[in-house]
Chain A
């Protein structure tokens, strides 16, 4: 079953780290990525640019509205995701717990609606 692990975190947190801490943080993600790959569960993964770079689009009363910024102005923003394929939710949660994002933010685990 496919699960999306979505990492929500405060984008300012990363900027506040020292360069060596930033390198360490990124390397931790690299290692996590490798572990997922090695376990044969990784489908896809991406890091997103900060929410300040987001633009939202919606149709309201027949008119397209385009707005700067993310959908919701919250402190924690979606910063990246891992799409994994594991047997069940228990397995998905054990991978979520290992994600560095669980330490510096929150990892939301959502099953993918199979098409």
Chain B
């Protein structure tokens, strides 16, 4: 890509979320702000590569977007809100010459609005990706395995809700901050996890999603530098991101964490993740979910120096996570850690206690863990059954192949499950 175009895109992108947040915080019309800004961006991306990025790109974009907003408001039937907004927009003039924008950074408020309890939980992450980062509905739909038309419709409705229900852009204070912040962090992590599920990096748009989630994580961590959970989430994402390349060998086959070569981890990223976790641990308050999960990743990362995995530490961390969240996935990971510290029988007993949990019935790692522990304790047939279930639930071909190879290694003869495909 041409350097001028790249500079224009980078500057435009930097400004985008700030301007959406600023405009929408006042009008609560997220869709209107997006329309105005996307038009302004289109103008910028044709003009800037020619004329160079303006001295104050924010102000430049705001001026163009403001004009578009005024036009749009005038086209609408003039209600009370519209005239108030028009007056506000008129007063915005003159900012363009200021070196520093005279308007506040409302991005944190925008994130809180996207993750508001009044909006369906599974829409928090999609909404953030669209509103704050400008992703289109089709890309978001692919990442979250939702039909594009459905996703577009849900996003439109969510934005209408922000406007109609008057969802505020205020950053909550005190206890409410902690509570609401956790939903913001959950949404960022959901976006990261969806980006993560494309480790082969086939889908460039989705690979981008993990990076974008980290960007959001950095934004929140920079705006709330004393919140341990915000730092914890960023640390967690950086730890896992550091291992991205190590998860495939030269042949493109899946390599599980415990067998990865630490030399292939991204060392600066691991270091940054570690220092963030140290900062998080010095924050006030008991460690939350993300701090604990980052600590688990940190224990795995210690293998860089020690050459061994500190399973007793990991077991204690999952104990704490189970206590804190009651999550079946935490309980599953605890069972895996138990198998390492006290043997496969202890791990299996812990897994058996989870067998009835509906939430794990179609969760691939649950079956893979069960298969692995059954295999280790010599229950070959039961292990084969569990492997088949894990293989049937897996989405990624490389992981599927890995599980198939593990299953095949159990017995000499290949014994695929019967079915119409034979």
Query: Which residues of A come within 8 Å of B, CB atoms?
Result: 23-24, 26-36, 38-39, 45-47, 80, 89-90, 93-94, 97-98, 100, 102-103
| Separation of A101 and B146 alpha carbons in the complex (Å) | 18
Residues on the B chain within 8 Å of A98, using CB: 392-395
> Is the CB–CB distance between A30 and B389 below 8 Å?
no
Q: A28-B391, A97-B145 are in contact. Are A33 and B420 (CB under 8 A)?
A: yes
| Separation of A77 and B401 alpha carbons in the complex (Å) | 25
Q: Shortest CB–CB separation between residue A20 and chain B, in angstroms?
A: 8
> Is the CB–CB distance between B419 and A29 below 8 Å?
yes
A-B CB contact pairs (8 Å), 16 listed:
A24-B404, A26-B422, A27-B417, A28-B391, A28-B400, A30-B416, A31-B389, A34-B392, A34-B417, A35-B389, A35-B393, A36-B392, A39-B361, A45-B420, A93-B147, A100-B400
Residues on the B chain within 8 Å of A89, using CB: 147, 150
Residues on the B chain within 8 Å of A33, using CB: 392, 417, 419-421
Q: Shortest CB–CB separation between residue A75 and chain B, in angstroms?
A: 20
Q: Which of B390, B414, B421 has the most CB of A within 10 A?
A: B421
| Separation of A94 and B397 alpha carbons in the complex (Å) | 15
Determine chain B's interface SS by DSSP, over half rule.
Answer: loop
| Separation of A31 and B417 alpha carbons in the complex (Å) | 6
> Is the CB–CB distance between A23 and B421 below 8 Å?
no
Residues on the A chain within 8 Å of B404, using CB: 24, 27-28
Query: Which residues of B come within 8 Å of A, CB atoms?
Result: 145-147, 150, 361-362, 387-395, 397, 400-401, 404, 414, 416-422
| Separation of A103 and B203 alpha carbons in the complex (Å) | 13
| Separation of A32 and B401 alpha carbons in the complex (Å) | 13
Q: Which of A36, A80, A100 has the most CB of B within 10 A?
A: A100
| Separation of A24 and B392 alpha carbons in the complex (Å) | 12
Q: Shortest CB–CB separation between residue A38 and chain B, in angstroms?
A: 6
Which single residue of chain A is at the shortest CB-CB distance from B397? Answer: A103
Residues on the A chain within 8 Å of B416, using CB: 23, 26-27, 30-31
Residues on the A chain within 8 Å of B400, using CB: 28, 100
Which single residue of chain A is at the shortest CB-CB distance from B388? Answer: A31
Q: A97-B145, A97-B395 are in contact. Are A34 and B419 (CB under 8 A)?
A: yes
Which single residue of chain B is at the shortest CB-CB distance from A88? Answer: B150
Which of B147, B150, B389, B420 has a CB less than 8 Å from the CB of A46?
B420
> Is the CB–CB distance between B421 and A29 below 8 Å?
yes
